[in-house]
Structure 1
Amino acid sequence: MADSLRDQLLKSGIVKQLKDDKRQQQPAPKPQNSFAKGKPPHKPRPPRSDEIDLGKAYAMRAQTEAQERKRAEQEAAEQARIKRERKAKVQKLLEGQALNKNDVDQVRHFEYGGKIRRVHVDAGQLADLNAGKLGIVQNAGRYLLVTQAVAEQVRDVDPHLVALLVDPAAAGVDEDGIPDDLMW
């Protein structure tokens, strides 16, 4: 009795005969070969109306990115052109207008671009600079001493190039011509 009923039936061959009988009674399935119907084997399904082809999506994305790059390059070129025009205009305004002297003994310190800068001046220029009659303009890495009118013209073209232009009405000036805000 060690053999189960199933094992006994398999040994006797009855189960095998039953399986063979079931196979003969069932009709054979028809092949799913699409060639039998005259159609290609793997016809891609048409995309739904809300789907787009992956290739088209990549092409659209590439085209959009190219347009964005082109627009960014055009904007950069326009900004560079404007900057060149401003620089040329400032250069023309400053041509021959610098009042800097080589043989001066005083230094005027001022804050520009987050750092303390300096320009060499004589006593008269220092008094006029502190009174607002002169200004300092940064051009090509140098600080040029110019009249108030020239400094204001430069401010109209490019305001960040004016390094120092004291407004005498806004800041008090002591008897030495030094603004009160510069007293250490």
Structure 2
Amino acid sequence: MRNLLQQQLVKAGLIDKNKAKAVAHEQMLAQKRQPKGQAAPSAAQVDAQHALAERAERDRALAAQQKAQAHEHEMRAQIRQIVDAHKLPRGGEIAYAFSDHHKIRNVLVDSGQRAQLASGRLLIVRHGDGYEIVPRSAAEKIRERDATMIVLDHAQVAAATSEDDPYKDFPVPDDLIW
């Protein structure tokens, strides 16, 4: 037995001789498995390795978050470009009322735009602090990027009416002015 402490434990009867031999043998094998010239890593080295691993994980999480923000910013820029390229001029005198986040908003349209809005061929989308009217083809491109930018789509509302709706026999007329 190599260790004085082990000898004392065996004499005191706290461990048996075979157990002490097994522990000594395991210690010897661990030393042989370790490459020559390298000492066992100290506690400070182990802590430093853990700190490096934690820092690398934080850096990966931060990089993923920055990538997600850049992707979101890019999508918003694409939506702005689509709206700027496809928005219809609004010079009408009819106030078209719609709700956005439980608030009633108005846009000025002419009678042709009003009919197309009611039929679902035109849609209202958020643009900056206001709203713009775009054709359905442009709105589908916007929906692919961020569906929350579309404020009013009568074709989607008509498709969403359920069979259980007690008011399905009483549709709201398209020419209703608030």
TM-score scaled by length of structure 2? 0.58
After superposition, where does 1:9-158 map in structure 2 within 5 Å?
A: 53-102=42-91, 104-111=93-100, 114-120=101-107, 121-158=109-146
Tell me, which stretches of 5 or more residues in structure 1 are unaligned?
Answer: 1-47
Tell me, which stretches of 5 or more residues in structure 2 are unaligned?
Answer: 1-26, 31-39, 162-167
Distance 2:172 2:154 in 1: 16
Distance 2:154 2:83 in 1: 19
User: In the alignment, residue 136 of structure 1 is paired with which amino acid?
Assistant: I
Per-residue Cα deviation, 1:34-82 (whole angstroms, up to 9, x for no partner): xxxxxxxxxxxxxx87x97432343133212211221122112211221
After superposition, where does 1:1-12 map in structure 2 within 5 Å?
A: none
Equivalent residue number for residue 177 of structure 1:
174
Q: What RMSD, in angstroms, separates the aligned Cα atoms of the two structures? A: 3.3
Give the superposition deviation at 1:155.
0.8
User: In the alignment, residue 116 of structure 1 is paired with which amino acid?
Assistant: K
Contact 2:91–2:110 under 8 Å retained in 1: no
Aligned residue pairs, count: 131
Structure with more of its chain in helix, by fraction: 2
Contact 1:108–1:126 under 8 Å retained in 2: no
Equivalent residue number for residue 38 of structure 1:
none
- Larger Rg over CA atoms: 1
Per-residue Cα deviation, 1:78-110 (whole angstroms, up to 9, x for no partner): 112212321232222222422252553413122
Distance 2:138 2:117 in 1: 13
Distance 1:148 1:87 in 2: 18
TM-score scaled by length of structure 1? 0.57
User: In the alignment, residue 159 of structure 1 is paired with which amino acid?
Assistant: A
Local SS of the residue matching 2:155: coil
Distance 2:50 2:104 in 1: 50
Local SS of the residue matching 2:93: coil
